[in-house]
Amino acid sequence: MPDERSPADIIAESAGPKAAVATDRSPSAEPDELSPRLANARDMIVTEHVDKWFGDFQALDDVTLNIKEEEIVVILGPSGSGKSTYIRCLNRLEEHDAGRIVIDGIELNEDVRAMQAIRSEVGMVFQQFNLFPHLSVLSNITLGPQKVRHVPKLEAEALAMQLLERVGIPEQADKFPAQLSGGQQQRVAIARALAMQPKIMLFDEPTSALDPEMIKEVLDVMQELAESGMTMIVVTHEMGFAREVADRLVFFDEGALVEQGTPEHFFTNPREERTKLFLSQIL
């Protein structure tokens, strides 16, 4: 596309005449233009010019993206585009090589204590669930609160039962992960992350390893969570979820943030050729 405007300009334009005044040429959009309900929210996640290399391969290329408190961001992109790497950098499962990441006012750097503080504020749900197979469902959920937050056992268990109610499977508390279906396991994984009472939840393709009939039960839980005011970043290919729940969609390709905007913008009027191509392939 012979267009030299940055995605920010594109989004600003697409968001309406008022936004067109924005002259910031950084790829980060102004989220308040995108979703009025977040107009006065503070920045929960700040990422500026983040690079990440795996050997010779550049996984993230100058990614700048700020996310507001209570915002729901869905990240799209082909495989290998860096979207998982990006959210893994946010709780330092990967270390970024350049740029700045600030989570809720704490900068991610070599400081191990900062890292621990952030990990207990950021919950993560994995594609492969990654439940602890040797622990019961209940112990999977209570482990973090008991060991990291030093919550007394009974209190942690009461909280875990509440969370299991919330994700709809309190009757599975005493079972082991291998005895549950994929959808149930993923819901336990969500409950485990929530047990740390995080301010931010990261979802790394949470439904990609599920059988089709189980996807909905997990998405329902995520939607309920989104409505409860959690800040969420979701890497997914579930376009229905993206359209209904997200405040903002972000499209990654080859490690770079290519385009971002409201779901409406993405599904009616994407500007970048690569975005159009990608959407035409998966819709």
5/147 with CB nearer another protein: 147
User: Rounded to an integer, what distance in angstroms lies between the CA atom of residue 130 and that of residue 124?
Assistant: 10
CB of 176 to another protein, least distance (A): 3
User: Rounded to an integer, what distance in angstroms lies between the CA atom of residue 203 and that of residue 183?
Assistant: 14
User: Rounded to an integer, what distance in angstroms lies between the CA atom of residue 261 and that of residue 14?
Assistant: 8
What is residue 33's three-state secondary structure? helix
42/153 with CB nearer another protein: 153
126/251 with CB nearer another protein: 126
User: Rounded to an integer, what distance in angstroms lies between the CA atom of residue 146 and that of residue 71?
Assistant: 29
CB of 65 to another protein, least distance (A): 20
CB of 240 to another protein, least distance (A): 21
CB of 79 to another protein, least distance (A): 18
Burial of 135 (0-12, 13-18, 19+ CB in 10 A): middle
- Cα distances from 50 to residues 13, 64, 103, in angstroms, run 25, 7, 14
User: Rounded to an integer, what distance in angstroms lies between the CA atom of residue 101 and that of residue 89?
Assistant: 8
Contact 141, 197 (CB under 8 A): no
Contact 200, 103 (CB under 8 A): yes
CB of 56 to another protein, least distance (A): 21
CB of 233 to another protein, least distance (A): 14
User: Rounded to an integer, what distance in angstroms lies between the CA atom of residue 92 and that of residue 133?
Assistant: 24
116/228 with CB nearer another protein: 116
128/269 with CB nearer another protein: 128
CB of 220 to another protein, least distance (A): 22
What are the helix (H) ranges across the chain?
A: 7-14, 31-34, 83-90, 112-119, 137-148, 153-166, 182-194, 212-227, 239-245, 263-268, 273-282
29/125 with CB nearer another protein: 125
178/282 with CB nearer another protein: 178
Taking CA 69 as the corner, what is the angle to CA 243 and CA 209, rounded to the nearest 5 degrees? 45
* Interface positions with another protein (CB under 8 A): 91, 93, 116, 119-120, 122-124, 126, 128, 130-136, 143-144, 147-148, 174, 176-179, 192-193, 196
